Amino acid sequence: MTALKPAETEHRGAGAEAEPGDVGRPRPAEGRARARRRLGPGTPIPAGFLIGPLLLLGIWFLGSAQGWIDPRFLPAPWTIAQTAAELISSGRLGADLLVSAQRFAIGLVFGVAAGVALALVSGLSRIGEAIVDGPVQIKRSIPNLALLPLLLLWFGIDERMKIITIALGVLIPIYIHTHNGLRSIDSRYAELSETVRLGHGAFIGRVILPGALPGFLLGMRFAVTSAWLSLVVVEQVNATNGIGYMMQLAGSYGQTDVIIVGLVLYGLLGLISDGIVRIVQRRALSWRRTLED
């Protein structure tokens, strides 16, 4: 009996009897699925990003319980939890957290808006790229900490300096990744838009912005981290409130447990922010098939 060709095998009914030569032979679709599972990282783990932090927390618990960690340098987790509860009950932690969250949100919004605008100017025009890209790359090589003395002279110690510092930290990753996303759009989409005679506005809305979305969302993951890092810096320079100010004041009095509470809070806020962006990224880019899927 003559064996069926692969194309014929795919079109056979689900209940059709297999030919002797087909026994044990994977169909093309099954072979591709197996190859994808074999080459990919495996099945997604629900809340898998929490495993690493929980593992570190477990090591911290064990080390403190066994006396391997000197409490003068790193207090035990239960001591940190007690200190955090006292700060919350006194209202101090809540007030400082609210101020820090406001600074983070405002700086993030301004930084994202500026980064996207500059990326569009640079990504859609060679003249715009010649004007914008150089200064942005120069700023990229200058850390925010080096700009603080100049920003203090220009804007003083009020909220403007803090917001601008955070926005400058956010602008760079947004610009870099959005610009790269714009320049990575397949030229065939531009040719297709010309064929169907899309207007300039429709071309930007239907081709440019969706094509740059993966790069923008990747930049957002770096941007939220950069925003928290910049916030740590500005809140420890002539600040009178915020989590960073609380940590600086605790350092003056040797309160290691309060400093650790601030660090843990910064870490949790950064982890939550990145998790939110990852969820948005996964849902907004559900049309893509990647090894993560």
Report which of 111, 85, 257 is spatially closest to residue 176, judged by C-alpha positions: 111
Q: Cα separation of 4 and 119, whole Å?
A: 54
Distance (Å) of CA 137 to CA 110, 176, 222, 230: 19, 9, 16, 18
Going through 109-255 in order, the beta strands assigned E by DSSP cover: none
Tokens found for residue 143? 């850390």
pLDDT in tens, 223-260: 999 999 999 888 887 778 889 889 988 988 888 999 99
Q: Cα separation of 241 and 235, whole Å?
A: 7
pLDDT of residue 224: 95
pLDDT of residue 39: 53
pLDDT of residue 31: 55
Q: What is the pTM of this model?
A: 0.75
pLDDT in tens, 134-177: 999 999 998 888 888 898 889 888 889 999 999 999 999 999 99
- Residue 108 · residue 166 · CB < 8 Å: yes
pLDDT of residue 104: 94
Cα dihedral 280, 283, 286, 288 in deg (nearest 10)? 10
pLDDT of residue 3: 46
pLDDT of residue 290: 54
Which CATH code of 3.30.1380.10, 1.10.3720.10, 1.10.1740.10, 1.10.10.60 fits the domain covering 101-240+276-284? 1.10.3720.10
Length of the chain, in residues: 293
- Residue 49 · residue 267 · CB < 8 Å: no
For the chain, residues with pLDDT lower than 50 are: 1-18, 21, 291
pLDDT of residue 89: 92
Structural domain spans, the chain: 101-240+276-284
- Residue 155 · residue 161 · CB < 8 Å: yes
| Three-state SS letters, 173-211 | HHHHHHHHHHHCCCHHHHHHHHHCCCCHHHHHHHHHHHH
Q: Cα separation of 219 and 178, whole Å?
A: 7
